[in-house]
Amino acid sequence: MRSSYTGFGYSSLSNDVQDISALVSYLRTLGKEKIVLCGASTGCQDCLEYTDHEKHKSAPVDGYILLSPVSDRQTAGLLMSPEDLERSNRNAQGMIAEGREKDAMPTALLPFIFTSPVTAYRWNSLAAKGGDDDYFSVDLDEATITAKFGRVDASILLLPGEDDELVLPSVDKKELLDRWVQACPEESQERVCDSILQFLDALLE
């Protein structure tokens, strides 16, 4: 994928969906009948972005597994002071307004964990409220959560990390998970139950 390794800093969810969809289409030509996308951490955004078929025309899949979905925006708040994060976001938004969204952010305005270039667009996507990657923040309102999770069109399994060090200690993970589940279409939840029952039946045969 274009976002692999150092590409993470200058790619986008849209690129990821294009790359994954191309792979899914290829696997279908090989006769693969069951395809489930599994994303971990930031990869969870890819799974939910993939469900926006109207926007991306992405090839249908049979399910999604989200391992340790986490808010990159709120993780940035763990790595930077509120003042530094605000300054960084203002800088990114200023660059975007000037048409320089593909230019690299100043290293001094990024958390120490970023050792490769990060564009203004990518940083705004990850760290600003309402950015393209902002799927799992605890302060998203119900309408936003419903818009994002309500388009899930296949079985979905949500597996937050119980002791994920990148989640704010104040976050009630069970409550947040319940909000996500309630926003998913009822059919997607029923499909997961059916899949589990089929798996158990196969074990008992």
Q: What local confidence, expressed as pLDDT, does residue 170 receive?
A: 83
Q: What local confidence, expressed as pLDDT, does residue 191 receive?
A: 64
User: For the chain, which residues make up each domain, given as ranges?
Assistant: 5-71+135-204, 76-127
In this structure, are residues 51 and 68 in contact, taking their beta carbons and an 8 Å threshold?
A: no
Has this prediction a pTM greater than 0.85? Answer: yes
Contacts of 88 (CB under 8 A, 6+ apart): 80, 105, 109, 110, 123, 127
Tokens, residue 150: 């309500």
CA 194 to chain centre: 25
Whether the CA torsion 89, 90, 96, 99 is positive or negative: it is negative
User: In tens digits, what is the pLDDT along the chain, a chain of 205 residues?
Assistant: 999 999 999 999 999 999 999 999 999 999 999 999 999 988 999 999 999 999 999 999 999 999 999 999 999 999 999 999 999 999 999 999 999 999 999 999 999 999 999 999 999 999 999 999 999 999 999 999 999 999 999 989 999 888 778 787 888 889 999 999 999 998 776 666 666 666 567 667 6
